[in-house]
Amino acid sequence: MPELPEVETITRSLRPALVGRTILAGQLLWKRSLAAPSAGKFQAGIAGQTVQEVTRRAKFIHLRLSASSLIVHLRMSGDLALVPGKPVPGKHDRLLLFLSGDSTLVFSDARKFGRIWLLSDPQELFARLGPEPLADDFTPDRLYRSLQARRRQLKPLLLDQGFLAGLGNIYTDEALHTAGLHPLTSSDAVSPEQAGALWAAIRAVLAEGIRRNGASIDWVYRGGDFQNHFRVYGRTGEPCPECGTAIERLVIGQRGTHVCPQCQPLKEKIR
DNA sequence: CACGAGACCTGTTCGC
DNA sequence: TGCGAACAGGTCTCGT
Protein backbone atom coordinates (compact mmCIF):
# COMPACT_ATOMS: atom_id res chain seq x y z
CA MET A 1 0.00 0.00 0.00
CA PRO A 2 2.55 2.53 0.88
CA GLU A 3 4.05 5.44 -0.95
CA LEU A 4 5.12 8.67 0.66
CA PRO A 5 1.63 9.90 1.68
CA GLU A 6 0.64 6.55 3.19
CA VAL A 7 3.90 6.28 5.10
CA GLU A 8 3.50 9.87 6.28
CA THR A 9 -0.04 9.09 7.46
CA ILE A 10 1.14 6.07 9.43
CA THR A 11 4.09 8.00 10.86
CA ARG A 12 1.85 10.82 12.05
CA SER A 13 -0.60 8.43 13.66
CA LEU A 14 2.13 6.53 15.51
CA ARG A 15 4.19 9.51 16.65
CA PRO A 16 2.14 10.74 19.64
CA ALA A 17 1.47 7.22 20.86
CA LEU A 18 5.03 5.96 20.57
CA VAL A 19 7.27 8.77 21.76
CA GLY A 20 8.35 8.13 25.33
CA ARG A 21 7.54 4.43 25.36
CA THR A 22 10.18 1.86 26.18
CA ILE A 23 10.62 -1.33 24.19
CA LEU A 24 10.57 -4.21 26.62
CA ALA A 25 11.11 -7.11 24.23
CA GLY A 26 10.65 -8.19 20.64
CA GLN A 27 9.11 -11.29 19.08
CA LEU A 28 10.31 -11.99 15.56
CA LEU A 29 7.86 -14.22 13.70
CA TRP A 30 9.39 -14.17 10.22
CA LYS A 31 13.17 -14.08 10.27
CA ARG A 32 13.68 -12.50 6.86
CA SER A 33 11.67 -9.42 7.80
CA LEU A 34 14.75 -8.41 9.80
CA ALA A 35 17.35 -7.02 7.40
CA ALA A 36 19.95 -6.21 10.05
CA PRO A 37 21.46 -7.07 12.44
CA SER A 38 21.17 -10.79 13.30
CA ALA A 39 18.11 -11.89 15.26
CA GLY A 40 20.17 -12.35 18.41
CA LYS A 41 21.79 -8.92 18.28
CA PHE A 42 18.43 -7.37 17.44
CA GLN A 43 16.70 -8.82 20.50
CA ALA A 44 19.53 -7.81 22.78
CA GLY A 45 19.92 -4.39 21.20
CA ILE A 46 16.28 -3.39 21.20
CA ALA A 47 15.35 -4.22 24.79
CA GLY A 48 15.26 -1.30 27.18
CA GLN A 49 15.46 1.43 24.54
CA THR A 50 13.05 4.33 24.64
CA VAL A 51 11.46 5.93 21.57
CA GLN A 52 12.75 9.50 21.22
CA GLU A 53 11.27 10.52 17.90
CA VAL A 54 9.18 9.09 15.04
CA THR A 55 9.88 10.51 11.59
CA ARG A 56 9.64 9.64 7.92
CA ARG A 57 12.37 9.75 5.27
CA ALA A 58 11.14 8.80 1.79
CA LYS A 59 9.15 5.59 2.39
CA PHE A 60 11.04 4.67 5.55
CA ILE A 61 9.61 5.03 9.05
CA HIS A 62 12.36 6.01 11.44
CA LEU A 63 12.04 5.39 15.18
CA ARG A 64 14.95 7.13 16.84
CA LEU A 65 15.68 5.22 20.02
CA SER A 66 17.87 6.04 23.01
CA ALA A 67 20.93 4.37 21.53
CA SER A 68 20.13 3.46 17.93
CA SER A 69 17.58 3.67 15.13
CA LEU A 70 14.78 1.29 14.30
CA ILE A 71 13.87 1.71 10.65
CA VAL A 72 10.95 0.09 8.86
CA HIS A 73 10.17 -0.14 5.14
CA LEU A 74 6.66 -1.44 4.41
CA ARG A 75 7.35 -2.27 0.75
CA MET A 76 4.15 -3.62 -0.85
CA SER A 77 1.94 -4.95 1.91
CA GLY A 78 3.52 -3.98 5.20
CA ASP A 79 1.73 -2.19 7.99
CA LEU A 80 2.74 -0.84 11.36
CA ALA A 81 0.17 -0.35 14.10
CA LEU A 82 -0.01 0.09 17.84
CA VAL A 83 -2.46 -2.20 19.62
CA PRO A 84 -3.39 -2.43 23.30
CA GLY A 85 -2.14 -5.29 25.46
CA LYS A 86 -0.19 -8.29 24.25
CA PRO A 87 -2.02 -9.73 21.23
CA VAL A 88 -1.97 -13.27 19.94
CA PRO A 89 0.06 -13.00 16.71
CA GLY A 90 -2.09 -12.77 13.60
CA LYS A 91 -1.48 -14.77 10.44
CA HIS A 92 0.50 -11.98 8.78
CA ASP A 93 2.27 -10.55 11.80
CA ARG A 94 6.05 -10.61 11.33
CA LEU A 95 7.36 -8.71 14.35
CA LEU A 96 5.84 -7.73 17.68
CA LEU A 97 7.48 -5.16 19.93
CA PHE A 98 6.13 -5.18 23.46
CA LEU A 99 6.12 -1.69 24.92
CA SER A 100 5.83 -0.05 28.28
CA GLY A 101 2.29 1.07 29.06
CA ASP A 102 0.83 -2.33 28.11
CA SER A 103 0.78 -1.97 24.34
CA THR A 104 2.38 -3.65 21.35
CA LEU A 105 3.77 -2.31 18.10
CA VAL A 106 2.79 -4.81 15.41
CA PHE A 107 4.54 -5.11 12.05
CA SER A 108 2.35 -7.16 9.72
CA ASP A 109 3.17 -7.93 6.11
CA ALA A 110 1.24 -10.45 4.01
CA ARG A 111 3.76 -10.56 1.18
CA LYS A 112 6.87 -10.54 3.37
CA PHE A 113 8.66 -7.90 1.28
CA GLY A 114 8.91 -5.38 4.11
CA ARG A 115 12.18 -4.96 6.00
CA ILE A 116 13.31 -3.77 9.41
CA TRP A 117 16.74 -2.50 10.45
CA LEU A 118 18.26 -1.69 13.80
CA LEU A 119 21.20 0.58 13.03
CA SER A 120 23.56 2.82 14.93
CA ASP A 121 23.53 5.28 12.03
CA PRO A 122 20.42 5.72 9.84
CA GLN A 123 22.59 7.28 7.14
CA GLU A 124 23.56 3.75 6.23
CA LEU A 125 20.17 3.62 4.52
CA PHE A 126 19.37 7.26 3.87
CA ALA A 127 22.62 8.35 2.25
CA ARG A 128 21.70 6.88 -1.11
CA LEU A 129 18.28 8.55 -1.30
CA GLY A 130 17.46 11.45 -3.58
CA PRO A 131 15.81 14.64 -2.38
CA GLU A 132 12.66 14.64 -0.29
CA PRO A 133 10.01 15.95 -2.71
CA LEU A 134 8.21 18.13 -0.15
CA ALA A 135 11.37 19.63 1.32
CA ASP A 136 12.53 23.19 0.64
CA ASP A 137 15.71 22.08 -1.10
CA PHE A 138 13.71 20.33 -3.82
CA THR A 139 13.17 23.18 -6.27
CA PRO A 140 11.92 23.37 -9.87
CA ASP A 141 15.41 24.30 -11.00
CA ARG A 142 16.98 21.40 -9.18
CA LEU A 143 14.49 19.02 -10.79
CA TYR A 144 15.16 20.48 -14.23
CA ARG A 145 18.91 20.16 -13.85
CA SER A 146 18.74 16.60 -12.56
CA LEU A 147 16.43 15.62 -15.44
CA GLN A 148 18.89 17.12 -17.90
CA ALA A 149 21.74 15.18 -16.35
CA ARG A 150 20.09 11.88 -17.21
CA ARG A 151 18.70 10.30 -20.32
CA ARG A 152 16.01 8.05 -18.98
CA GLN A 153 12.29 7.49 -19.41
CA LEU A 154 10.43 9.71 -16.95
CA LYS A 155 8.42 6.99 -15.27
CA PRO A 156 11.26 4.68 -14.23
CA LEU A 157 13.38 7.71 -13.33
CA LEU A 158 10.75 9.15 -11.00
CA LEU A 159 10.39 5.74 -9.35
CA ASP A 160 14.15 5.62 -8.76
CA GLN A 161 14.53 6.46 -5.06
CA GLY A 162 18.07 7.67 -5.65
CA PHE A 163 16.73 10.29 -8.06
CA LEU A 164 13.75 11.41 -6.00
CA ALA A 165 12.70 9.71 -2.78
CA GLY A 166 9.12 8.81 -2.02
CA LEU A 167 7.15 8.50 -5.24
CA GLY A 168 5.67 5.11 -6.10
CA ASN A 169 3.57 3.76 -8.92
CA ILE A 170 0.33 5.58 -8.08
CA TYR A 171 1.66 9.05 -7.39
CA THR A 172 4.02 8.92 -10.35
CA ASP A 173 1.17 8.20 -12.76
CA GLU A 174 -0.93 10.90 -11.12
CA ALA A 175 1.87 13.48 -11.25
CA LEU A 176 2.75 12.79 -14.88
CA HIS A 177 -0.88 13.16 -15.88
CA THR A 178 -1.25 16.39 -13.91
CA ALA A 179 1.86 17.75 -15.61
CA GLY A 180 0.72 16.58 -19.05
CA LEU A 181 3.85 14.53 -19.63
CA HIS A 182 4.03 11.08 -21.19
CA PRO A 183 5.80 8.53 -18.96
CA LEU A 184 8.10 7.45 -21.82
CA THR A 185 9.39 10.98 -22.41
CA SER A 186 13.16 11.09 -22.18
CA SER A 187 14.22 13.09 -19.14
CA ASP A 188 16.66 15.25 -21.12
CA ALA A 189 13.86 16.28 -23.51
CA VAL A 190 11.90 18.01 -20.73
CA SER A 191 11.88 21.81 -21.03
CA PRO A 192 12.33 24.12 -18.03
CA GLU A 193 8.61 24.94 -18.22
CA GLN A 194 7.66 21.27 -18.27
CA ALA A 195 10.01 20.56 -15.38
CA GLY A 196 8.31 23.35 -13.45
CA ALA A 197 4.91 21.81 -14.18
CA LEU A 198 6.16 18.39 -13.11
CA TRP A 199 7.62 19.82 -9.91
CA ALA A 200 4.31 21.48 -9.07
CA ALA A 201 2.37 18.32 -9.98
CA ILE A 202 4.53 16.10 -7.76
CA ARG A 203 4.08 18.42 -4.79
CA ALA A 204 0.35 18.86 -5.39
CA VAL A 205 -0.36 15.16 -5.77
CA LEU A 206 1.65 14.23 -2.68
CA ALA A 207 0.06 17.00 -0.65
CA GLU A 208 -3.40 15.89 -1.66
CA GLY A 209 -2.53 12.30 -0.80
CA ILE A 210 -1.39 13.35 2.67
CA ARG A 211 -4.42 15.58 3.13
CA ARG A 212 -6.66 12.60 2.34
CA ASN A 213 -4.66 10.35 4.68
CA GLY A 214 -3.31 8.32 1.78
CA ALA A 215 -4.96 5.80 -0.47
CA SER A 216 -6.50 2.55 0.77
CA ILE A 217 -6.78 -0.23 -1.79
CA ASP A 218 -7.77 -3.87 -1.50
CA TRP A 219 -7.71 -5.46 1.90
CA VAL A 220 -5.27 -2.96 3.32
CA TYR A 221 -7.40 -0.27 4.82
CA ARG A 222 -6.19 2.62 6.88
CA GLY A 223 -9.00 5.08 6.47
CA GLY A 224 -7.47 7.15 3.68
CA ASP A 225 -9.66 8.03 0.73
CA PHE A 226 -7.30 9.29 -1.98
CA GLN A 227 -8.17 6.16 -3.99
CA ASN A 228 -11.52 7.83 -4.72
CA HIS A 229 -9.75 10.75 -6.37
CA PHE A 230 -7.31 9.09 -8.75
CA ARG A 231 -7.16 10.82 -12.12
CA VAL A 232 -5.65 7.94 -14.07
CA TYR A 233 -4.29 5.24 -11.76
CA GLY A 234 -6.39 2.07 -12.04
CA ARG A 235 -8.90 3.80 -14.30
CA THR A 236 -8.12 2.02 -17.57
CA GLY A 237 -10.91 2.60 -20.09
CA GLU A 238 -12.58 5.27 -17.99
CA PRO A 239 -12.77 8.86 -19.19
CA CYS A 240 -9.91 11.25 -18.46
CA PRO A 241 -11.12 13.85 -15.94
CA GLU A 242 -9.65 16.61 -18.11
CA CYS A 243 -10.74 15.70 -21.63
CA GLY A 244 -12.89 12.57 -21.48
CA THR A 245 -10.57 10.45 -23.61
CA ALA A 246 -10.38 6.80 -22.49
CA ILE A 247 -7.43 6.18 -20.21
CA GLU A 248 -4.93 3.63 -21.48
CA ARG A 249 -2.82 1.15 -19.59
CA LEU A 250 0.78 0.57 -20.65
CA VAL A 251 3.55 -1.46 -19.09
CA ILE A 252 6.70 0.56 -18.51
CA GLY A 253 9.59 -0.83 -16.55
CA GLN A 254 7.38 -3.79 -15.69
CA ARG A 255 4.93 -1.53 -13.89
CA GLY A 256 1.34 -0.94 -14.89
CA THR A 257 1.18 2.65 -16.14
CA HIS A 258 -1.90 4.75 -16.76
CA VAL A 259 -2.02 7.62 -19.24
CA CYS A 260 -4.43 9.86 -21.07
CA PRO A 261 -3.23 9.72 -24.68
CA GLN A 262 -4.77 13.12 -25.32
CA CYS A 263 -3.39 15.03 -22.32
CA GLN A 264 -0.03 13.21 -22.29
CA PRO A 265 1.11 13.06 -25.91
CA LEU A 266 4.43 11.42 -26.69
CA LYS A 267 6.10 13.88 -29.03
CA GLU A 268 9.51 12.41 -29.58
CA LYS A 269 10.14 9.20 -31.44
CA ILE A 270 11.08 6.35 -29.17
CA ARG A 271 14.40 4.92 -30.19
C1' DC B 1 24.75 4.09 -18.21
C1' DA B 2 20.01 2.55 -19.49
C1' DC B 3 16.96 -1.13 -19.64
C1' DG B 4 14.56 -5.62 -19.32
C1' DA B 5 13.86 -9.81 -16.89
C1' DG B 6 13.75 -12.45 -12.82
C1' DA B 7 13.51 -12.84 -7.67
C1' DC B 8 11.33 -12.21 -3.46
C1' DC B 9 5.99 -13.52 -1.49
C1' DT B 10 0.88 -14.00 -0.75
C1' DG B 11 -3.72 -12.88 -1.85
C1' DT B 12 -7.37 -11.38 -4.97
C1' DT B 13 -9.46 -10.89 -9.31
C1' DC B 14 -9.90 -12.03 -14.20
C1' DG B 15 -10.89 -14.96 -18.12
C1' DC B 16 -12.30 -19.15 -20.07
C1' DT C 1 -18.03 -23.79 -10.13
C1' DG C 2 -13.17 -24.57 -11.06
C1' DC C 3 -8.68 -23.39 -12.17
C1' DG C 4 -4.72 -21.27 -13.95
C1' DA C 5 -3.19 -16.74 -15.31
C1' DA C 6 -2.60 -12.10 -14.37
C1' DC C 7 -2.10 -8.60 -11.27
C1' DA C 8 -0.86 -5.85 -6.93
C1' DG C 9 1.15 0.38 -3.57
C1' DG C 10 8.56 -1.95 -3.86
C1' DT C 11 13.25 -2.84 -4.52
C1' DC C 12 17.34 -5.67 -5.50
C1' DT C 13 20.41 -8.15 -8.70
C1' DC C 14 21.94 -9.81 -12.98
C1' DG C 15 22.69 -9.88 -18.01
C1' DT C 16 22.88 -7.31 -22.36
What is the sign, positive or negative, of the torsion defined by CA atoms of A175, A181, A187, A191? negative
A120 burial (CB, 10 Å; 0-12 / 13-18 / 19+) is exposed
CATH of A140-259, one of 1.10.260.30, 1.10.357.10, 3.40.50.1820, 1.10.8.50: 1.10.8.50
- Domain A4-126 identical in fold to domain A140-259: no
pLDDT digits (tens, 9 = 90+) for A238-263: 999 999 999 999 999 999 999 999 99
| CA–C1' A150–B14 (A) | 38
CB A114 within 8 A of CB A78: yes
Q: What is the pLDDT of residues A2-35, one digit of tens each?
A: 999 999 999 999 999 999 999 999 999 999 999 9
> Which residue type, as a one-letter code, is found at position A93?
D
Superfamily grouping for domain A4-126: MutM-like, N-terminal (3.20.190.10)
Tell me the pLDDT tens digit for each residue of A34-48.
999 999 999 999 999
Closest nucleotide over all strands to A161 (CA to C1')? C11
CA torsion sign, A147 to A74 to A50 to A18? positive
pLDDT of residue A221: 53
Domain assignments of chain A as residue spans, ordered by start: 4-126, 140-259
CA–C1' span, A170 to B4, in Å? Answer: 21
Q: Cis omega before residue A37 (within 30°)? A: yes
Nearest protein residue to nucleotide C6, judged by CA and C1' positions:
A256
Alpha helices in chain A (DSSP H): 4-18, 39-46, 123-126, 140-148, 154-159, 169-179, 192-211
Verify whether residue A21 is a known catalytic residue: no
- Contact status, residue A190 vs residue A264, Cβ threshold 8 Å: no
What is the tens place of the pLDDT at every residue in A67-113?
999 999 999 999 999 999 999 999 999 999 999 999 999 999 999 99
CA of A193 to C1' of C11 (A): 31
Number of continuous H segments (helices) and E segments (strands) in chain A: 7, 11
pTM score over 0.95: yes
How far is A232 from A194, CA to CA, in rounded Å?
A: 19
